[in-house]
């Protein structure tokens, strides 16, 4: 899955936009994903203006799969239902 496909999934499943951020820190506690200049991908938890528990990936597909699973978990926690 690509990042664009993940964003379409989030929209179709009505994932609140406050649960994720793309390319930078979010306004609150949320999951983030960034594509590095070196081609790597980083997924992290954005909390209080810092990147917590960053995890590096070599491919977009692997990073997006992890990112989607984390956003799904946070959605379940905050709303009581996930994207499945």
Contact between residue 72 and residue 83 where contact means Cβ atoms under 8 Å apart: yes
pLDDT-derived band of residue 76, with 50, 70 and 90 as boundaries? Answer: very high
The reported pTM is 0.94
Give the model's pLDDT for residue 69. 97
Task: Please write the tens of the pLDDT for every residue from 18-66.
Answer: 999 999 888 889 999 999 999 999 999 999 889 999 999 999 999 999 9
Where along the chain do its domains lie? Answer: 3-76
Q: Which residues contact 75 (CB under 8 A, 6 or more apart)?
A: 13, 15, 16, 19, 81, 82, 83
**β-pair partners for 22:** 33
Q: Give the Cβ contact number of residue 75 at 10 Å.
A: 21
Q: How far is CA 71 from CA 15, 38, 41, in A?
A: 8, 25, 16
| 76 vs 28 pLDDT, higher one | 76
């Amino acid at each position: 899955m690509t990042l664009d496909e993940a964003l379409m999934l989030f929209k179709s499943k009505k994932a609140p936009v406050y649960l994720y951020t793309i390319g930078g820190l979010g306004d609150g506690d949320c999951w983030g994903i960034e594509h590095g200049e070196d081609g790597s991908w980083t997924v992290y938890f954005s909390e209080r203006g810092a990147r917590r528990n960053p995890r590096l990936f070599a491919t977009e597909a692997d990073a997006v799969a992890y990112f989607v699973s984390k956003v799904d978990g946070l959605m379940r926690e905050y709303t009581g239902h996930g994207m499945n």
